[in-house]
């Protein structure tokens, strides 16, 4: 296969986690960009449109839900598949967990969920599944 | 011999012994003879004219009785007025009798007079009294018809004479029951009854009637005099007073606050059911004044003793009969009416239900904090696990790829997160430790000084100046010293970090103590970087930290938990670039009771 590697943007605020995701995905042959918060995420998306996004739901500056909705409402980027990464499913969204919230409110459901802690094998398998590889 | 006694006596004595005044006048109206009584009444008469003596006139009177008797020889009676020997006005009744001579002529007239000044005066007084007395007065005959009525009655009920009394008073044609006049006619006694009458203007009039029999000498009752007192105003006042009393009584009896009133001598006048319940005194069982000294707060004793006018105690306690201390809000007030002391009253609200609610709320807050903490802990642990997972991946793949850089990187991640778990567990243990604060009476300023001493070197090395701004004469408070110590060190180390992280990298950190509105306040202020909205919002949520790997995010949470256990709250005031102030507010009345004596420490 000589096709160009697929581009993945990892949006995550924990440095150790970012490093791990980047490393594991690069080892699987993907080109990985990273963003630590919502603002940086938009910069990266605009300069180099990714084929897939992993999005951590608890981040500074902009909540994961906010960024998720912006992406889904953006004509240009609404079709980028998103894997939602959650830590613990706390009651951060009223009485609902993040997953329940998305199921009730989101215009389109995420392509997949990953619940921390994630191991490399599971991560790569999920990404491949979403990208139809 | 005996036969001459009577004529002699009649001749010489009778004239003087008669009680009437007697004067004999001749045809010139000159008094020729008079008895002692006459002289006593009218004074010296010898050689005087009768008109001079009787009336102080210099000429005979126009309608002179004596003159007529001289003319026709008939005797006459007439009421006269004149002057007595002192010149005072006098009423008298005069009867003139001719003293005829043998030839039929009348040379003298004898005048008998009775002084009736007194009876005239009594009659006048009676008339005034009858009309002016502020009562309705009427005289009834045996048919209960009005013979006479006084002015006040006529003005109120209209002309009455000849009408039946029930018609006059009530405009009805049948007798009243009971009828005091009828009873008085029957048994000759005084009878009283209360009636409602109708005045000519339609007003309803309440009156109390006293009927007294009037009899002539033979005890035959011919008339009854009824004197009626208008009691409309009195009755209206009475019924208003009754209403006011009933209202007051029901207010007092139904109050959920305890109310006790004392007279001037400290004896209980009023004690309501709520007070009996709070003080645990069974209904009706009198509380002796003696033991009250121990039941109510000292401030109230001063009111009882007249040394103070009132007291308002937001939180105090009364001691029930079984010696239990009941927390109450207490008001005491001296009772006065127009400057006169009437005693004093105590009002107290049982604070036990409120206290219980407060405790329940505190407990709920604690449980919520614990819940948040557990959720936060899980989140934090998952992040650490995730990092460890990543570290292990790097280590494993580095080893298989013989990539030393990757191995070292992975090892670094594992080490860092191992440390993180260690401090997390330590913080969590301190957070979950001893849910009930162990309090003792401590001086808040001393606590602050200890913490400042502890951080002196740290602050100096960080180029931070520590300032203690302490309120003087701060009262001791029941605090958990190690808990508050933890709070202050947490806040202080945060403040030092914030100063170091600021652009200047140096500045002041101030710890303040204050007493305000019954609230004990600790403040820690820095001149550091301040916080934006998002950070402020998350500052008290579990495991939030801006210090990267350096903090666990449990410091402020622990601080908040300790503050809540003391019944207080922690608030934060922060502006980007202006610094941050954390304020611990501890309302003194919510502080837990000391669990140890200070000497135990």
Using CA atoms, how far residue B593 sits from A49, B77, B89, B317, B473, in Å, is: 64, 108, 95, 14, 21
Domain boundary among B376, B407, B429: B429
Domain count, chain B: 5
In the DSSP assignment, the letter for residue B473 is: T
pLDDT, tens digit, 9 for 90 and up, residues B474-494: 889 999 888 898 899 888 888
Is the per-residue pLDDT at B200 higher than 70? yes
Q: Do B390 and A16 touch (CB under 8 A)?
A: yes
pLDDT, tens digit, 9 for 90 and up, residues A120-132: 999 999 999 999 9
What is the least distance, in Å, from the CA of A73 to any CA of chain B? 24
Do B362 and B466 lie in a common domain? no
Which residue is listed with tokens 């839900």?
A: A65
Pick from A87-96, B509-518, B556-565 the range whose average pLDDT is largest: B509-518
Is the per-residue pLDDT at B534 higher than 50? yes
Lowest-pLDDT choice from B215-219, B232-236, B582-586: B215-219
Pick from B9-18, B260-269, B291-300, B398-407 the range whose average pLDDT is largest: B398-407
Using CA atoms, how far residue B256 sits from B251, B327, B392, B405, in Å, is: 10, 15, 69, 78
Cα A124–chain centre separation: 13
Between residues 85 and 124 of chain A, which touch chain B (CB distance below 8 Å)? 87-88, 90-91, 116-120
Measured distance CA(B474)–CA(B592) in Å, rounded: 18
Do B377 and B455 lie in a common domain? no
pLDDT, tens digit, 9 for 90 and up, residues A55-80: 987 654 456 778 888 899 899 999 99
Give domain status of residue B1, yes or no.
Answer: no
A50 close to A8: Cβ distance less than 8 angstroms: yes
Q: Do A88 and B378 touch (CB under 8 A)?
A: yes
Measured distance CA(B215)–CA(B229) in Å, rounded: 23
Do B344 and B361 lie in a common domain? no
Which residues in chain A are contacts of B378 at CB distance < 8 A?
A: 88, 90
pLDDT of residue A133: 85
Question: Interhelix angle for B352-400 vs B404-432, to 10°?
Answer: 170
Query: Confidence class of residue B328 from pLDDT cuts 50, 70 and 90?
Result: very high
Give domain status of residue B7, yes or no.
Answer: no
Query: Confidence class of residue B535 from pLDDT cuts 50, 70 and 90?
Result: low
Which residues touch B74 (CB under 8 Å, ≥6 apart)? B68, B98
Give domain status of residue A90, yes or no.
Answer: yes
Using DSSP, state whether B27 is helix, strand or coil. Answer: coil
Determine the average pLDDT of the residues in A17-45. Answer: 92
Give domain status of residue B330, yes or no.
Answer: yes
Q: Show the tokens assigned to B194.
A: 């209360």
The helix, strand and coil proportions of chain B, stated in percent and rounded to the nearest 5, come to: 45, 30, 30
The helix, strand and coil proportions of chain A, stated in percent and rounded to the nearest 5, come to: 40, 20, 40
Q: Show the tokens assigned to B389.
A: 């997972």
CATH for A96: 3.40.50.2300
Give domain status of residue B598, yes or no.
Answer: no
Do B334 and B362 lie in a common domain? no
pLDDT of residue B549: 44
Residue A92 lies in domain: 7-131
Q: Do B385 and A117 touch (CB under 8 A)?
A: yes
CA dihedral A41, A44, A49, A52 (to 10 degrees): -50
Query: Confidence class of residue B550 from pLDDT cuts 50, 70 and 90?
Result: very low
Do B79 and B170 lie in a common domain? no
pLDDT of residue B565: 82
Q: State the pairing for strand pair B340-350/B325-337.
A: antiparallel
Interface membership of A60 toward B (CB under 8 Å): yes
Q: Show the tokens assigned to A69.
A: 């909705």
Of A24, A27, A116, which has the smallest distance from its Cβ to B382's Cβ? A116
Domain boundary among B313, B348, B383: B348
Give domain status of residue B301, yes or no.
Answer: yes
Interface membership of B409 toward A (CB under 8 Å): yes
B241 close to B227: Cβ distance less than 8 angstroms: no
CATH for B155: 3.30.450.20
β-pair partners for B195: B207
Cα B195–chain centre separation: 36
Give domain status of residue B300, yes or no.
Answer: yes
Measured distance CA(A64)–CA(A42) in Å, rounded: 12
Question: Interhelix angle for B352-400 vs B555-565, to 10°?
Answer: 160
Domain boundary among B73, B98, B120: B120
Give domain status of residue A2, yes or no.
Answer: no
Give domain status of residue B150, yes or no.
Answer: yes
Percentage, residues of chain A above pLDDT 90: 50
Give domain status of residue A54, yes or no.
Answer: yes
Give domain status of residue A67, yes or no.
Answer: yes
Do B450 and B571 lie in a common domain? yes
What stretch of H or E contains B152? helix B151-157
Pick from A12-16, A102-106, B205-209, B561-565 the range whose average pLDDT is largest: B205-209
Do B413 and B460 lie in a common domain? no
Give domain status of residue A86, yes or no.
Answer: yes
- How many residue pairs from chains A and B have C-beta atoms closer than 8 A? 67
Please report the beta strands in B100-165, taking only residues with DSSP state E, as ranges in sequence order.
108-115, 136-140, 146-149
Percentage, residues of chain B above pLDDT 70: 89
Domain count, chain A: 1
Strand order in the sheet with B310-319: B268-271, B258-262, B340-350, B325-337, B310-319
Using CA atoms, how far residue B120 sits from B63, B76, B149, B216, in Å, is: 22, 21, 21, 19
In the DSSP assignment, the letter for residue B143 is: T
pLDDT of residue B599: 45
Which residues touch A4 (CB under 8 Å, ≥6 apart)? none
B226 close to B192: Cβ distance less than 8 angstroms: no
| Nearest alpha-carbon partner for B197 in B159, B167, B239, B163 | B167
Percentage, residues of chain B above pLDDT 90: 33
Using CA atoms, how far residue B348 sits from A127, B74, B266, B288, in Å, is: 71, 97, 18, 19
Do B83 and B27 lie in a common domain? yes
**How many CA atoms lie less than 13 Å away from B585 in the CB half-sphere?**
10
Measured distance CA(A22)–CA(B488) in Å, rounded: 41
Lowest-pLDDT choice from A1-15, B31-45, B87-101: A1-15
Summary mean pLDDT of chain B? 85
pLDDT of residue A95: 47
Per residue, what are the HEC states of B68-112? Answer: HHHHHCCCEEEEEEEECCCCCEEEEEEEEEEECCCCCCCCEEEEE
What stretch of H or E contains B187? helix B180-187
Give domain status of residue B184, yes or no.
Answer: yes
B584 close to B456: Cβ distance less than 8 angstroms: no
Q: State the pairing for strand pair A52-56/B310-319.
A: unpaired
Of B375, B383, B406, which has the smallest distance from its Cβ to A116's Cβ? B383
Q: Show the tokens assigned to B6.
A: 């009577």
Lowest-pLDDT choice from B108-117, B222-231, B369-378: B369-378
pLDDT, tens digit, 9 for 90 and up, residues B285-325: 555 544 566 788 888 888 888 888 889 988 888 888 888 88
Interface membership of A13 toward B (CB under 8 Å): no
**Residue A115: Cβ within 10 Å count:** 15
Q: Cis link prior to A102 (omega < 30° from 0)?
A: no
Of A16, A58, A60, which has the smallest distance from its Cβ to B413's Cβ? A16
Do B478 and B573 lie in a common domain? yes
pLDDT, tens digit, 9 for 90 and up, residues B168-193: 999 989 988 889 999 999 988 999 99
Q: Is B333 exposed, middle or buried (0-12, 13-18, 19+ CB in 10 A)?
A: middle
What is the least distance, in Å, from the CA of B453 to any CA of chain A? 36
pLDDT of residue B548: 47
Query: Confidence class of residue B467 from pLDDT cuts 50, 70 and 90?
Result: very high
| Nearest alpha-carbon partner for B416 in A20, A36, A62, A69 | A20
pLDDT of residue B293: 62
Query: Confidence class of residue A15 from pLDDT cuts 50, 70 and 90?
Result: confident
Do B116 and B150 lie in a common domain? no
Do B448 and B581 lie in a common domain? yes
Q: Show the tokens assigned to B533.
A: 């909205």
Which residues touch B195 (CB under 8 Å, ≥6 apart)? B169, B170, B176, B206, B207, B208, B209, B228
Give domain status of residue A1, yes or no.
Answer: no
Is the per-residue pLDDT at B369 higher than 50? yes
pLDDT, tens digit, 9 for 90 and up, residues B450-465: 888 888 888 888 888 9
B490 close to B559: Cβ distance less than 8 angstroms: yes
B366 or A65, greater pLDDT: A65
B332 close to B300: Cβ distance less than 8 angstroms: yes
Per residue, what are the HEC states of B364-388? Answer: HHHHHHHHHHHHHHHHHHHHHHHHH
Do B452 and B572 lie in a common domain? yes
Give domain status of residue A89, yes or no.
Answer: yes
pLDDT of residue B496: 86
Lowest-pLDDT choice from B96-105, B265-274, B276-285, B349-358: B276-285
Residue B423 lies in domain: 357-429
B161 or A14, greater pLDDT: B161
Measured distance CA(A18)–CA(A16) in Å, rounded: 6
Of B375, B382, B534, which has the smallest distance from its Cβ to A117's Cβ? B382
pLDDT, tens digit, 9 for 90 and up, residues B65-119: 889 999 999 999 988 888 888 888 888 899 999 999 999 899 999 999 988 888 8
Of B375, B386, B413, which has the smallest distance from its Cβ to A116's Cβ? B386
Q: Do A16 and B409 touch (CB under 8 A)?
A: no
B435 or B528, greater pLDDT: B528
CATH for B559: 3.30.565.10
Give domain status of residue A100, yes or no.
Answer: yes
Shortest CA distance from A12: residue in chain B: B383
| Nearest alpha-carbon partner for B141 in B77, B104, B198, B185 | B185
């Amino acid at each position: 296969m000589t096709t160009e590697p697929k581009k993945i943007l990892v949006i995550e605020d924990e440095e150790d986690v970012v490093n791990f995701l980047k490393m594991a995905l690069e080892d699987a042959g993907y080109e990985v960009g990273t963003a630590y918060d919502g603002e940086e995420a938009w910069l990266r998306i605009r300069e180099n449109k990714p084929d897939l996004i992993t999005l951590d739901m608890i981040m500074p500056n902009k909540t994961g839900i906010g960024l998720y909705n912006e992406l889904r409402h953006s004509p240009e980027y609404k079709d980028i598949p998103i894997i939602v990464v959650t830590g613990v499913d706390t009651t951060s969204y009223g009485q609902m967990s993040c997953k329940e919230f998305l199921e009730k409110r989101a215009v389109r459901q995420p392509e997949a969920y990953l619940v921390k802690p994630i191991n490399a094998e599971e991560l790569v398998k999920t990404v491949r599944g979403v990208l139809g590889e | 011999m005996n036969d001459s006694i009577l004529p002699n006596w009649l001749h010489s004595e009778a004239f003087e012994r008669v009680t009437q005044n007697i004067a004999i006048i001749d045809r010139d109206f000159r008094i020729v003879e008079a008895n002692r009584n006459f002289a006593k009444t009218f004074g010296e008469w010898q050689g005087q004219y009768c008109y001079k003596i009787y009336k102080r006139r210099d000429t005979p009177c126009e309608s002179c009785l004596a003159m007529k008797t001289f003319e026709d020889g008939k005797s006459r009676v007439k009421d006269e007025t004149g002057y007595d020997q002192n010149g005072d006005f006098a009423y008298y009744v005069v009867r003139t009798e001719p003293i005829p001579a043998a030839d039929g002529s009348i040379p003298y007239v004898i005048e008998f007079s009775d002084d009736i000044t007194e009876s005239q005066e009594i009659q006048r007084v009676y008339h005034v009294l009858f009309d002016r007395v502020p009562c309705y007065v009427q005289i009834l005959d045996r048919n209960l018809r009005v013979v006479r009525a006084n002015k006040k009655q006529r003005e109120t009920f209209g002309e009455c004479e000849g009408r039946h009394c029930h018609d006059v008073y009530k405009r009805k044609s049948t007798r009243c029951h009971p009828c005091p006049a009828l009873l008085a006619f029957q048994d000759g006694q005084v009878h009283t009854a209360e009636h409602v009458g109708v005045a000519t203007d339609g007003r309803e009039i309440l009156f109390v009637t006293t009927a007294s029999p009037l009899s002539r000498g033979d005890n035959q009752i011919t008339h009854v005099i009824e004197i009626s007192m208008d009691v409309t105003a009195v009755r209206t006042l009475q019924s208003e007073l009754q209403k006011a009393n009933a209202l007051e009584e029901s207010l007092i009896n139904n109050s959920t606050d305890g109310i006790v009133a004392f007279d001037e001598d400290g004896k209980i006048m009023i004690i309501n059911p709520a007070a009996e319940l709070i003080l645990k005194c069974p209904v009706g069982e009198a509380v002796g004044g003696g033991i009250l000294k121990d039941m109510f707060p000292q401030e109230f004793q001063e009111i009882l003793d007249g040394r103070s006018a009132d007291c308002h105690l937001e939180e105090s306690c009364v001691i029930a009969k079984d010696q239990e201390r009941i927390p109450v809000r207490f008001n005491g007030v001296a009772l006065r009416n127009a400057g006169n002391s009437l005693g004093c009253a105590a009002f107290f609200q049982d604070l036990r239900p409120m206290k219980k609610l407060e405790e329940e709320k505190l407990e709920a807050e604690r449980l919520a904090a614990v819940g948040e903490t557990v959720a936060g802990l899980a989140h934090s642990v998952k992040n650490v696990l995730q990092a460890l997972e990543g570290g292990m991946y790097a280590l494993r793949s580095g080893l298989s790829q013989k990539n030393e850089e990757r191995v070292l990187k992975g090892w670094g991640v594992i080490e860092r997160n191992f440390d993180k778990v260690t401090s997390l567990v330590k913080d969590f243990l301190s957070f979950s430790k001893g849910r009930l604060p162990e309090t003792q009476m401590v001086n808040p300023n001393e606590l602050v000084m200890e913490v400042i001493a502890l951080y002196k070197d740290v602050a100096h090395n960080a180029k931070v100046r520590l300032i203690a701004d302490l309120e003087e004469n701060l009262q001791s408070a029941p605090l958990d010293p190690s808990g508050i110590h933890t709070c202050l060190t947490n806040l202080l180390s945060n403040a030092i970090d914030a100063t170091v992280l600021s652009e200047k990298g140096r500045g002041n950190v101030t710890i303040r103590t204050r007493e305000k509105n019954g609230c004990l306040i600790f403040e820690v202020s820095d001149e550091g970087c301040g916080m934006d909205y998002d950070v402020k919002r998350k500052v008290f949520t579990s495991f939030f930290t801006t210090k990267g790997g350096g903090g666990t995010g449990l410091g402020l949470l622990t601080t908040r938990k300790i503050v809540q256990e003391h019944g207080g709250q922690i608030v934060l005031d922060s502006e980007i670039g202006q610094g941050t102030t954390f304020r611990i507010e501890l309302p003194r009345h919510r502080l837990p009771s000391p669990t140890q004596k200070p000497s135990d420490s």
